[in-house]
Amino acid sequence: MKKLLFQAFLFCNILSIFSQETGNFYGGLESNTQWLQTDTGINFLAPEDQFRANNYILLNYNLGNFTAGVQYESYLPSALLGYAPIYDAQNGVATYYFNYKDEKIDVTGGYFYEQFGSGLILRSWEDRQLGLNNAIKGVNVKYKATDYLDFKAVFGKQRNGFEESTGTIQGIDANLSLSSALNVESVDIQMGLSYVGRNQDTGGNQAIPSNVGAYSGRLDVILNNFYAGVEAIIKDPDAVANEGIIASDKLYDGTALQVNAGYAQKGLGINATFRRLENFSFFADRLAEGNIFNQQVINYVPGLTKQQDYLLTNIYVYNPQPRLIIETFDQRAGEVGTQLDLYYSFKKESTLGGKYGTKLAFNFSYWAGLDAEYDIENRWYKAKFIGSGQKLFRDVNVEIKKRLSKKWSSVFTYQNVTIDKGIVEGGPLGNSSINANIGVIEATRRFENGKALRMVAQHLWSNDDRKNWVAGVLEYNFSTSFAVYAADNWNYEGLGKIHYYSVGGSYSKGNTRLGLNYGRQRGGLICIGGVCRFVPENTGLSANLTVAF
């Protein structure tokens, strides 16, 4: 507590000094609250702390080349359901920073967010919906040596709730625009090299290394309408942890490879991505491996699949599987797979385009576990580069966006998905799979003065898991600032034939927005940007208030 008071006092005094000159304040407030209620229909018993709240206040001050900021957070009496318990009943100054920036150098002290390359080797960021904030507390230096060469260097400890990780992170990143350096205009060539290391006390265990590093090289090329990129990473041998316990003193290295290529022109876009991960979990604390709350993760490993928006297309979503596990109940070494996106716009007045044109989006993704041999007794494994490993996820979906008239527009979606049941339930992989077909029809009717009515009808067919579902959404916008909705997804062939209903709305004025919702939350994975967290089933009232200033 004394530490937090000192930080707040120091920050306020520095702002006071700055404010003697001309500068400007900016920031925001966000409040997310829940009132949970017992619901026998879904076997949910409200906890003792029925009221829960996550609150954030961010304040920044800028004066010329200097910027400073502080974020206060409160999780009283407890954090929202499904968030890491390390936040429960906590409040105080969570992050703060001081920054100087000019044309050549950018220096930050305190807490900062940073990313090297695509983030596959290092990404620190905040996502409040996921309950994720892995800011690094230390020093971040960026230096622009020339117009074509720049460097980044980071050093510090990662945030872990209101504490810090036991491991220290250090890293350096270099980016070179080869085409600019050689004055080549016909092709754009970008190169990058990165190193990220974790230093952590071994607790006297001589078999475990105190320093573990990861080394990355990447190359990106753009030629006319074509682009391609590759990034390869190797990680030093390290111990493997499972549920907070070191599995053995044996060490295993890790690798990552990601390749993407595409073509884009007006009305057409094609993108393909291949990724292979082998034992590629990387945490600021080696014992954090396997935690379900995304705490202390150093690198960014999103699920490379289409990010779905509808109630039923969000039931079976893929959570990446980069971990190595050699146990009697589960064996896995990583994942390998691909994703393909195709976008095409049919021109207006063409046969398929019609009067207003038609947009088509096709997506295919396939992910499998690495094809590997395991010797559980000797803690040994050997994985093939691709092979024919256990299928974890396969998704084929088509989306057609069609404007029917000046007042009516529509979206038609079809998805066929197969997923390993262990990913859905969080258990061992490879025991059984789920196959489902989902169809969605969305229509929007626009009226004058910003009024609009949105209607969505959905159905999921499956002989597995919880069988068939039907869902519907009605949303009416009274204006661009006020909207209400009602929704229901009904598991009409599942056990209990449960309705997951919800009603709510939102109102915005200026930089302020208030949203209210009452209903049942279906349990399962919630994914944002390919990163997921698990939410248990619950019923209650929730509110969201955001204010920017």
- Inter-residue contact 63 to 47 (CB < 8 Å): no
Structural domain contains residue 494: yes
**Collapsed DSSP state (helix, strand, coil) of residue 135:** coil
The verdict on whether omega for the bond into residue 322 sits within 30 degrees of 0, i.e. cis, is no
- Beta-strand relationship, 268-278 and 252-265: antiparallel
Q: How far is it, in rounded angstroms, from Cα 332 to Cα 135?
A: 30
Inside any domain, residue 95: no
Number of domains in the chain: 1
- The identity of residue 53, as a single letter, is A
What is the pLDDT at residue 290?
84
Is residue 328 one of the residues assigned to a domain? yes
Token pair recorded at residue 200: 């952590």
Domain residues for the domain of 334 are 303-341+350-500
Residue 148 lies in a domain: no
Residue labelled with tokens 């146990």: 327
What tens-digit pLDDT sequence spans the chain (549 residues)?
A: 444 444 555 555 555 554 456 789 999 999 999 999 999 999 999 999 999 999 999 999 999 999 999 999 999 999 999 999 999 999 999 999 999 999 999 999 999 999 999 999 999 999 999 999 999 999 999 999 999 999 999 999 999 999 999 999 999 999 999 999 999 999 999 999 999 999 999 988 989 999 999 999 999 999 999 999 999 999 999 999 987 889 888 999 999 999 999 999 999 999 999 999 999 999 999 999 988 899 999 999 999 999 998 999 999 999 999 999 999 889 999 999 999 999 999 999 898 899 999 999 999 999 999 999 999 999 999 999 999 999 999 999 999 999 999 999 999 999 999 999 999 988 899 889 999 999 999 999 999 988 999 999 999 999 999 999 999 999 999 999 999 999 999 999 999 999 999 999 999 999 999 999 999 999 998 898 899 989 999 999 999 999 999
Q: In angstroms, rounded to a whole number, what is the distance separating the alpha carbons of residues 231 and 260?
A: 9
Instruction: Please indicate, yes or no, if residue 509 is contained in any of the structural domains.
Output: no
Tokens of 223: 């030629």
Half-sphere exposure in the Cβ direction for 430 (13 Å, CA): 12
Nearest to residue 200, comparing CAs of 146, 164, 154? 164
40 secondary structure, DSSP code: G
User: Looking up tokens 């204010």, which residue turns up?
Assistant: 547
Q: What pairs with residue 260 in β-bridges?
A: 229, 273
Of 65, 66, 57, 59, the C-alpha closest to 32 is 57
526 falls within a domain: no
Q: Whats the size of the chain, residue-wise?
A: 549
Q: What is the pLDDT of residue 2?
A: 46
Contact yes or no for 104/144 (Cβ under 8 A):
yes
Please name the residue that has the structure tokens 């990447």: 218
Half-sphere exposure of 411 (CA within 13 A, CB side): 15
What is the pLDDT, as a whole number, of residue 85? Answer: 95
pLDDT of residue 21: 60
Cβ-in-10-Å burial (0-12, 13-18, 19+) of 20 comes to exposed
Residue 114 contacts residue 124 (beta carbons within 8 Å): yes
Concatenate the DSSP letters of all residues of 154-179 into one string: EEEEEEETTEEEEEEEEEEEEEEEHH
Question: Are 256 and 279 in contact, with CB atoms under 8 Å apart?
Answer: no
Instruction: Give the C-alpha separation, 67 to 64, whole Å.
Output: 8
| Inside any domain, residue 437 | yes
Which residue in the block uniquely carries the two structure tokens 């590997």? Answer: 372
Give dist(CA 137, CA 129) in Å, integer. 22
What separation in angstroms does the CA of 170 have from each of 20, 27, 88, 294, 353? 36, 29, 30, 20, 53
Residue 86 in 3-state DSSP?
helix
Contact 116, 231 (CB under 8 A): no
Helix, strand, coil percent content, the chain, rounded in steps of 5: 5, 60, 35
For residues 359-397, one letter each, b for 16 or more C-beta atoms within 10 angstroms of the residue's C-beta and e for the rest, the string is bebbbbbbbbbbbbebeeeeeebebeeeeebbbbbbbbb
Rounded to whole angstroms, the Cα distance separating 488 from 496 reads 15
Spatial CA neighbour of 410 closest among 456, 461, 471: 456
The per-residue DSSP string of 464-475 comes to STT--EEEEEEE
Cα torsion angle, 81, 83, 88, 94, sign: negative
Q: 408 lies in a domain? A: yes
Structure tokens at 95: 């992050």
| C-beta contacts of 122-127 below 8 A and 24+ residues apart | 122/154, 122/169, 122/171, 122/173, 122/194, 122/196, 122/298, 122/299, 122/300, 123/299, 123/300, 124/158, 125/300, 127/528, 127/529, 127/531
Give SS3 for 85: helix
User: What is residue 17's three-state secondary structure?
Assistant: helix
Sign of the dihedral defined by the CA atoms of residues 350, 351, 355, 360, in that order: negative
